[in-house]
A = this chain, B = another copy of it.
């Protein structure tokens, strides 16, 4: 492998940034050219993250570094609003942009503004951008210049429902949408990011569990957008996230009201067939129950199904929010853009125990 792809990371000091570093530094076809942090410019990466000692020999550089323009791919592991401010310039230099934040996820710029409290500065690029979720958008992604990567919760919910909603779209009358789909989700605390916030400190969150965002969460419009596309109609949807006292892991328990026809369908078989060729999506055997540790540190997502009374289908999904829910899926996306096997550099097995 003489010619490696050159990649850059903008915003390398958060958890998706270090996770990109952990994964990319082990990727056989990639050279990490630069990683930026305005605040920590000049600091050796290994000083901030000693787990990378001996493996990542870079200092954080300024986001203004010209090195970004020499990259094949630039990942944005930044707060919302950064990628859209830098994307146009990078595209001019034939750099492909992979945004892990929300700048290119929501197609309707008014809805974007409503939830993210900022104007979208490049609506034309937003229109061009492809939603970055390989299992549901692989074909559209292949020739994209900009990817707005799927969020962590949205990835788990979409993949948990895709075979069902696609069937509903194709055959009709599978889901009974008179009752909203309910996603009762639980996330490890790394999902809240690496920031100085009293509510995140260990003495506040350890040995504790709570719900949050009962009045609405930014991932809702993204999820509804994608689920509705899958179903071919607007999906009524209730999203209730909770905060787990763990570092990593999302567990989504999804309740869907089916029609009698939907309830009589062999959904286990449907899911197994739908995902048979997907390396990262594992439909567990009937009766098995996923656990977040079964995917800890890996790019896998595991799904189990259970039919309950009253025509309710319960879908259980686990993923690692920092891997399949963020950095791992972003590298999976890069592999697609680079025409590499999709699992290149991503075959790590979950850390159990």
**Residues of chain A whose beta carbon lies under 8 Å from any beta carbon of chain B:** 15, 18, 22, 25-26, 49-55, 179-180, 182, 184, 186, 188-190, 192, 194-198, 200-212, 214-215, 236, 238, 240, 242, 244-249, 251, 253, 255, 257, 282, 284, 287-298, 302, 304, 306, 308-310, 312, 314, 316, 322, 347-353
Contacts and interface: CB of A to CB of B under 8 A. Distances in A.
Q: How many identical chains are in the complex?
A: 4
Contact of A209 (B198, B201, B215, B249): B249
Nearest to A49: B352
A228 to B, nearest CB: 14
A51 B288 CA distance: 13
Contacts of A310: 179-180, 236, 238
Contact of A201 (B189, B238, B294): B189
Contacts of A236: 309-310
Contacts of A186: 186, 209, 242
Given A186-B242, A291-B209, A308-B238, A202 B253 contact: no
26 contacts: A22-B352, A26-B347, A50-B290, A51-B296, A53-B282, A54-B282, A180-B310, A182-B255, A189-B203, A194-B201, A207-B249, A207-B296, A208-B291, A209-B291, A210-B251, A211-B316, A214-B287, A214-B314, A238-B255, A238-B310, A240-B253, A240-B314, A242-B251, A244-B245, A245-B245, A245-B246
Given A184-B184, A197-B201, A249 B208 contact: yes
Contacts of A182: 182, 255, 312
A292 B189 contact: no
Given A198-B195, A207-B293, A306 B214 contact: yes
